[in-house]
Amino acid sequence: MKWTWLIGVLFLLLCQLAYTQENNNGGRLTGNIETNANFFIRDTLIGASNTPQYDRQLFGGESWLNLNYNNWGFDMGIRFDFFHNSNLLNPQGSFNGQGVGRWYVRKKIDKLGIAVGYLYGQIGSGIIYRAFEERPLGIDNALFGAELSYDLAEDWVIKGFFGKQKQQFGLYDSVIRGASVDGYLAGGEESNWSIAPGFGAVSRTLDDATMNLIVSDIKTYYNIDSSYVYAPSYNNYAFTLYNTLTAGKFSWYIEAAYKSAETLANPLTDPDIPSGINFLNDAGTALYTSLSFANKGFGLTAEYKRNENFIFRTRPQELLNRGLVNFLPPLTRINTYRLNARYNAATQFMGEQAVQLDASYRFSRKLLANVNFSNITDLNDNLLYREIYTEITYKYKRKWQILGGLQLQTYNQEVYEFKPSVPLVETITPYVEWLYKFDRKKSLRIEGQYMIMNSSDSGGKEVKHDYGDWIFALAEFSIAPNWTFTVSDMYNVGPGKNSPSDSNGEKLALHYPRFDIFYTYKSSRFSLSYVKQVEGVVCTGGICRLEPAFSGVKMTVTSTF
């Protein structure tokens, strides 16, 4: 796309003008850069092998440069993307490419807002439409097109947009368009209530090439089971209605959505569907609600979600996280400790029912407790995920703090990691963290976690499921505001059936060490890490993917200006 480079050159010329203008109290130029560099060290024992990076390339990296400029009532920006032997988009592959990854221009003319370029945004909570970027997972679902908004009243806005979804440095051919209305109403000065209602609609039109592939596939169903033959439609529609009610100490959000019947990829989870049926034709529904209460140190949040056939892609042939038009809010806790976060529940677009309860209570300025419960099943009440998480934090003056708790998990590895005929993973994980401040600048933080895995008998011998039991320990020493040094080890103390074996078939208890150095100077941050990491699921905001083992050195640089 040579014209995108032309836009880049023009923007750089504008930056030169911006520099001159800024020195004369004109516009403002801001930006940031992020660079990741990975040096791969082959380790066949843990499975860090058989990819281009480990076998021959030995190096891979990515870099993003954002430039934003504001002047004359315009907001505009551009982002340059660079991928070299990168495994970010596909952990098993290697991608090379560079170019303009994003540009946009925005302008407000009285009540009218105009935006063109690669745009991010969502309707409601994103159930029918969300254009977003999750860089750690290699997702960039920007909409390349135009957006118009108009202020109907002080707190009421109507918005419309259309375009095509981004695909790395190209575009998918399907056309997406949508509209939404968002408002806000509040009681009088003595009232403590308000509502924020909204309505949205999105439509997608398939391109001819995609439709031809679908039709060719459906024709083969006459030879398999003619009851699965249907007439696919070029256009399908999704609608959502949502509202946030705030009344005193309570807040209640609810959203209901419907999607018209469309071509869906067969999820292969129904054994009654004959082999060779690759597409189905179904409508979708989704319901999400969240109720929160807070009062004098006590907080409680309850969430519920049910969705069926609510996968919405720019084309049905796309798989995993590619081509997603919508987003379903996850109903699981975002865990940060290494072993607590080892098993994550990815959103099941084709059907799931989930509840989550989170309660916290502050007994005093020193003592805080938190309890979280989440439960996810499929629409036939088969358990997919369950977690009970408890946490207690105690602070002693400003000198030290201790945090500890217990996590219980049940995880359906067959569904989330596509591993057939494996039992449910059940874990018990106690954990503790201690933070000690030597003075205003120097501190030491120590973590400890122990994951106990369930087991079963195999030929009269007890076998731990998955990788078995783990111990994790970390020590982090910080010198504010510049330096942080971290050393950690994840030890497979009780190897399971998926742990590596020696030449005699005996399971090996391996160490997975990590060493990190972080340096911060003003608005720049540098890191250098040696990492040996086991295969596992990586999640961001409920969107997950299975990543292979890693062995090597990582270097990152981030800076804003």
For residue range 294-328, list pLDDT tens digits in order.
999 999 999 999 999 999 999 999 988 899 999 99
In contact, 507 and 501? CB cutoff 8 Å: yes
Q: Which pLDDT does position 460 carry in this prediction?
A: 62
Q: Is a pLDDT exceeding 80 seen at residue 536?
A: yes
pLDDT band, very low/low/confident/very high, at 122 (cuts 50, 70, 90): very high
Q: Which pLDDT does position 270 carry in this prediction?
A: 80
- pTM for the complete prediction? 0.91
Q: Is a pLDDT exceeding 60 seen at residue 11?
A: no
Count of domains forming the chain: 1
3-state secondary structure of 2: helix
In contact, 553 and 519? CB cutoff 8 Å: no
Q: Is a pLDDT exceeding 70 seen at residue 9?
A: no
In contact, 26 and 71? CB cutoff 8 Å: yes
Q: How far apart are CA 346 and CA 364, in angstroms?
A: 36
Expressed as residue numbers, the domain containing 204 is 110-329
Inside any domain, residue 487: no
Q: How far apart are CA 529 and CA 538, in angstroms?
A: 18
Q: Is a pLDDT exceeding 90 seen at residue 255?
A: yes
pLDDT band, very low/low/confident/very high, at 456 (cuts 50, 70, 90): confident
Q: Is a pLDDT exceeding 60 seen at residue 430?
A: yes
In contact, 374 and 354? CB cutoff 8 Å: yes
Inside any domain, residue 262: yes
Q: Is a pLDDT exceeding 60 seen at residue 5?
A: no
Tokens of 320: 């995993």
In contact, 106 and 113? CB cutoff 8 Å: yes
Inside any domain, residue 84: no
Residue 112 vs residue 267, higher pLDDT: 112
**Pairing relationship of beta strands 298-308 and 279-295 according to DSSP bridges:** antiparallel
Q: Which pLDDT does position 239 carry in this prediction?
A: 98
pLDDT band, very low/low/confident/very high, at 410 (cuts 50, 70, 90): very high
Tokens of 221: 């169903």
Q: Average per-residue pLDDT in the chain?
A: 92
Mean pLDDT score, 383-400: 95
Inside any domain, residue 540: no
Strand segments (E) across 351-467: 351-362, 367-377, 383-396, 400-411, 425-437, 442-453, 455-458, 461-464
Q: Is a pLDDT exceeding 80 seen at residue 121?
A: yes
pLDDT band, very low/low/confident/very high, at 7 (cuts 50, 70, 90): low
Inside any domain, residue 219: yes
Q: Is a pLDDT exceeding 70 seen at residue 147?
A: yes
Q: Is a pLDDT exceeding 70 seen at residue 63?
A: yes
Inside any domain, residue 545: no
Inside any domain, residue 362: no
Q: How far apart are CA 123 and CA 175, in angstroms?
A: 17
Q: How far apart are CA 393 and CA 401, in angstroms?
A: 7
Inside any domain, residue 164: yes
Tokens of 531: 């990492």
Mean pLDDT score, 181-191: 87
Mean pLDDT score, 227-244: 96
What percent of the chain is modeled with pLDDT above 70? 94
In contact, 249 and 283? CB cutoff 8 Å: no
